[in-house]
C-alpha cells in the first residue's frame, strides 16, 4: 500500500478547523472508508497528492474538467483576466461573449443568466419557473441531485403523490411541502401525477442523463412523456445539465438526445472549472428575471471576469476541436475492458455509459433508477475503489457517482485502467 502519511496528517489538521475536515461531503470518503487524499496539484489527466503519488483522474472536479487540468488556453485566458482585476461588481464584455457562445451552442437557450454555482443555478431556475407560471409545485426524481437548496434536498422516495421529506436537519418541512418526488424512468407515475395535480405543477426538474446515482440514462418513453405532459399542462421542463452540459455534446445531453427543455441549468464547465453556474432558456421565460422582470436573482460574483474568460476559452476550444466522438470511442473501449475484467473475476456487475460518463455498478440487476442502483454492493465497490487507488487510478469515492473521461486521456490510459481493474477485481473475487 502506498505511503499516504502526509495526506493523513493534512486531514487531521483540517478536522480541527473544518467540519469533518472537508468543505464538501463528497470529498470525505465516507462511503469507501479511509482517509481522503489531499491534492497538491493537477496537470492534464492527472492528480498528484501531497505524498507525491500520481493518479489518473476520472473525477475531473466532478465533471467540468473535460479538457483536463491546466489546459494552456484556459490558463492563459484566466491569467490574462486576473491581471485586469479579479472582481468588478459591474458588467464586463466577457459576460456577453460567453452568453453568446452558450446561446449559439444550445438551441433551447435564447437568453442566459450567470451565477456562481450549480446549486445557485438550480435554485434560480425553480424560482423562475414558479414566478413564470404562478404555481408552487415542483416535481423532481429520486436520485437526481440539484444542489443543496432546501426545496430540492428531499429524501429519495418514489411515491407519486406524497410530499418530499427533508433529508437534512435544518431544512424545515415547509420548505419541501411543494416538492413531489417520482421514480426516474417511470412514465406511468409521471402521468398519474399530472392527472391528479397537473394544473398546480410549476416545473419538472431532472438530470436528463443522471450522474448522481451513478450513471443512469433515460428511456425514450420517459423523455417523450416528460415533454408531452409538461407542454400539455403548462409546466416548465427544466433540464439540470450541470454535469452533462457541454460534456456529452457541445449542446449538452439535450443535443445528444434531441430534446428541447424550456429552461436549462449549467455548472462549472461553462467557466472552465471555475466557480460558475448558469441558467437559461426561452426568452419569454428568461425575461421574467430581474431587472427585465419581477423574479429576483442577484450575486456580486455572477459574471466574474476571471471565470468568464476561462469559460470563453473552454467553449471556444470545444467548438473548434470537438472531442465528443473520440471521447465516446475511448468510453466504449473502457466499458468493454471493465465488462471483461468483471466477467473474468466472476463479479456481478453492470456498466452504464453515455459518451464520456460511466459507472461500474456492483449488481447483476439493470440499473434504471435509484432503487435498482441501490441493489449494488457498496462494500465491494469500496474495496474496488481502494484497489484502483493503490494502482494509480482515482475514481469517485461512491458507488453512486458517475466517472468522467477527459481529452488528455489516450488509449494507453484506458488500457492501463482496464488492467488495473482486472487486478483489483481479481483481488475482490479472491477475498
Residue 161: band (very low, low, confident or very high) from pLDDT cuts 50, 70, 90: very low
Instruction: For residues 17 and 27, give the distance between their C-alpha atoms in angstroms, rounded to a whole number.
Output: 16
Mean pLDDT of 353-377: 96
pLDDT score of 197 more than 80: yes
Residues 151 and 98 in one domain: yes
Instruction: For residues 272 and 274, give the distance between their C-alpha atoms in angstroms, rounded to a whole number.
Output: 6
Averaged pLDDT of the chain: 94
pLDDT in tens, 64-77: 999 999 999 999 99
Taking CA atoms, 296 is separated from 171, 242, 287, 290, in Å, by 22, 22, 11, 5
pLDDT of residue 167: 61
C-beta neighbour count of 103 within 10 angstroms: 16
Residues 24 and 106 in one domain: no
Residues 336 and 358 in one domain: yes
Residues 293 and 330 in one domain: no
pLDDT score of 168 more than 80: no
Of 320, 355, 374, the residue at which a domain comes to its end is 320
pLDDT in tens, 204-227: 999 999 999 999 999 999 999 999
Mean pLDDT of 313-339: 98
Mean pLDDT of 424-431: 86
Residue 174: band (very low, low, confident or very high) from pLDDT cuts 50, 70, 90: confident
pLDDT of residue 227: 97
**Domain encompassing residue 164:** 72-320
pLDDT score of 166 more than 80: no
Which residues have CB under 8 Å from 80's CB, separation 6+?
Answer: 309
Least confident of 106-115, 183-192, 214-223, 422-431: 422-431
pLDDT score of 164 more than 50: no
Whole-number percent of the chain with pLDDT over 70: 96
Of 281, 301, 320, the residue at which a domain comes to its end is 320
pLDDT of residue 152: 78
C-alpha distance across the termini of the chain, in Å: 17
Contact 394, 49 (CB under 8 A): no
Residues 271 and 401 in one domain: no
Mean pLDDT of 248-260: 98
Of 320, 338, 354, the residue at which a domain comes to its end is 320
Residues 294 and 414 in one domain: no
Least confident of 30-34, 79-83, 311-315: 30-34
Residues 281 and 157 in one domain: yes
Q: How many domains does the chain have?
A: 2
Catalytic residues: 145, 240, 268
pLDDT of residue 430: 73
Stated pTM of the model = 0.95
Q: CB-based burial of residue 220 (10 Å sphere; 0-12 exposed, 13-18 middle, 19+ buried)? A: exposed
C-beta neighbour count of 288 within 10 angstroms: 16
Residues 348 and 384 in one domain: yes
Residues 140 and 101 in one domain: yes
- Count of alpha carbons within 13 angstroms of residue 406, beta-carbon side: 26
User: In this structure, what CATH number is given to the domain that contains residue 330?
Assistant: 3.90.1150.10
Residue 159: band (very low, low, confident or very high) from pLDDT cuts 50, 70, 90: very low
Of the candidates 80, 104, 318, 119, which has an alpha carbon nearest to the alpha carbon of residue 205? 119
Residues 51 and 143 in one domain: no
Residue 157: band (very low, low, confident or very high) from pLDDT cuts 50, 70, 90: very low
Residues 195 and 236 in one domain: yes
User: In this structure, what CATH number is given to the domain that contains residue 179?
Assistant: 3.40.640.10
Mean pLDDT of 256-272: 97
Strand order in the sheet with 393-394: 39-43, 46-49, 54-57, 393-394
Q: Which three cell numbers stand for residue 404?
A: 468522467
pLDDT score of 105 more than 70: yes
pLDDT in tens, 11-34: 999 999 999 999 988 888 888 999
Residues 391 and 313 in one domain: no
Amino acid at each position: 500500500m502506498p505511503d499516504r502519511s502526509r495526506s493523513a496528517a493534512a486531514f487531521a489538521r483540517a478536522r480541527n478547523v473544518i467540519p469533518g475536515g472537508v468543505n464538501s461531503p463528497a470529498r470525505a470518503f465516507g462511503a469507501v472508508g479511509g482517509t481522503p487524499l489531499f491534492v497538491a496539484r493537477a496537470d492534464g489527466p492527472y492528480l498528484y497528492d501531497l505524498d507525491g503519488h500520481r493518479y489518473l483522474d476520472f473525477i475531473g472536479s466532478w465533471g467540468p474538467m473535460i479538457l483536463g487540468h491546466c489546459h494552456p488556453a484556459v490558463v492563459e485566458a484566466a491569467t490574462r483576466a486576473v491581471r485586469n482585476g479579479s472582481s468588478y461588481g459591474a458588467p464586463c464584455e466577457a459576460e456577453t461573449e460567453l452568453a453568446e457562445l452558450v446561446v449559439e451552442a444550445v438551441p433551447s437557450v435564447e437568453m442566459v443568466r450567470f451565477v456562481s454555482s450549480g446549486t445557485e443555478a438550480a435554485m434560480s431556475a425553480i424560482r423562475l419557473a414558479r414566478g413564470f407560471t404562478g404555481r408552487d409545485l415542483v416535481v423532481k426524481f429520486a436520485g437526481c441531485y440539484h444542489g443543496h437548496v432546501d426545496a430540492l434536498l428531499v429524501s429519495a422516495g418514489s411515491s407519486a403523490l406524497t410530499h418530499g421529506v427533508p433529508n437534512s436537519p435544518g431544512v424545515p418541512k415547509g420548505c419541501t411541502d411543494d416538492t413531489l418526488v417520482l421514480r426516474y424512468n417511470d412514465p406511468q407515475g409521471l402521468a398519474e401525477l399530472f392527472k391528479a395535480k397537473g394544473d398546480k405543477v410549476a416545473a419538472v426538474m431532472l438530470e436528463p442523463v443522471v450522474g448522481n446515482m451513478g450513471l443512469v440514462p433515460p428511456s425514450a418513453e420517459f423523455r417523450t412523456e416528460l415533454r408531452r405532459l409538461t407542454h400539455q399542462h403548462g409546466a416548465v421542463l427544466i433540464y439540470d445539465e450541470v454535469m452533462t452540459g457541454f460534456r456529452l455534446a457541445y449542446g449538452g445531453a439535450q443535443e445528444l438526445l434531441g430534446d428541447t427543455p424550456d429552461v436549462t441549468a449549467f455548472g462549472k464547465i461553462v467557466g472552465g472549472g471555475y466557480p460558475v453556474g448558469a441558467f437559461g432558456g426561452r426568452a419569454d421565460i428568461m425575461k421574467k428575471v430581474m431587472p427585465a422582470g419581477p423574479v429576483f436573482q442577484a450575486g456580486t460574483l455572477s459574471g466574474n471576469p476571471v471565470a468568464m474568460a476561462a469559460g470563453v476559452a473552454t467553449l471556444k476550444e470545444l467548438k473548434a476541436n470537438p472531442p465528443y466522438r473520440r471521447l465516446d470511442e475511448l468510453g466504449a473501449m473502457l466499458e468493454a475492458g471493465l465488462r471483461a475484467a468483471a466477467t473474468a473475476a466472476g463479479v456481478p456487475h453492470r456498466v452504464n455509459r453515455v459518451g464520456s460518463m460511466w459507472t461500474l455498478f456492483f449488481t447483476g440487476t439493470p440499473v434504471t433508477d435509484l432503487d435498482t442502483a441501490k441493489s449494488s454492493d457498496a462494500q465491494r465497490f469500496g474495496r474496488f475503489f481502494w484497489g484502483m487507488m493503490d494502482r494509480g487510478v482515482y475514481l469517485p469515492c461512491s458507488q453512486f457517482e458517475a466517472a468522467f473521461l477527459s481529452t488528455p486521456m489516450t488509449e494507453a490510459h484506458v488500457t492501463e485502467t482496464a488492467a488495473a481493474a482486472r487486478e483489483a477485481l481479481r483481488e475482490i473475487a479472491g477475498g
